[in-house]
A and B are shown apart, each in its own frame.
Chain A
Amino acid sequence: MEIMRLVVTGPVGAGKSTFIRSVSEIEVVDTDRRATDEALLIKKRTTVAFDFGRLQFGPDMALHLYGTPGQSRFDFMWDILIQKAHAYILLVAAHRPHEFREARRIMMFMKQRSPVPMIIGLTHTDCPGAWDAANIALALGYPNPSRRPPVVTVNANETASVAQAVIALVQHTWSGSLAATS
């Protein structure tokens, strides 16, 4: 069995669990609990260990998706999940500038622990007050547009949009090998 593991990370309420639910074929293994912290302002339930989704696309080929908890008190889970990941996507809610610094912290944490490639997925881009990709990239610490990871827009509720984001992540990660064989 060949397995690719992708991690979906980002601050609270960026849409990580929804993202995985939208693309998984199996019923997502979620470990959400009723939120009692500040996450409650955004949503009712929050992931405390990880979300797990799967896409089986051949008799011995599967994509595994792991969603991390958003709160930094669960950073031990971030660490566990990133260790075995092939690549990851950082989801950021475009209309919540409040979370940009937290997104940056998570990204630093991941980068320090794993050299695997990543892309940035912007959710809630149609909400009032949403920032555009160029400015969010700046806010996340990428002043140079030619030296930053790809930034894609995702609607975490739509399978097609999530599939597109996963394609972007896979193509970014394995650009060399996909080009060589196609």
Chain B
Amino acid sequence: MARVIVMDLSRHNTVMVGHDRYFVLDTGGRAELVRDHCPHRGGPLSLARRTPDGRRLSCPWHGTKVGVAAVRRSRLPMVRSGDEALVVLPDGADAPVSVTHREILANLPPDPTHHDEGAEHG
């Protein structure tokens, strides 16, 4: 049976499963738990800012643009009920799990100072 963990979204926005980190991304008012990992070199997408059109995240490491749709494909199954969220961890995830709160920039409004540089991903 897959592992299920419980998060209080009023207090926590990040889950560590072993060395893999997931963060709560706001996608149009809906909270989704996505992998905090840029497909380019593994940068922290939670610290990315949105591009002016709001559709991509600009990775803080190399400016790689990652489509929000692509980031969403990494999401873990989650059922939110009020502030409580139940999350099914990936298969075979017997690694230590911790739930924390970190600064997340990816949910801020698009960065008005954004310059269109860096490669596209997703």
Q: Bound pair: A and B?
A: no
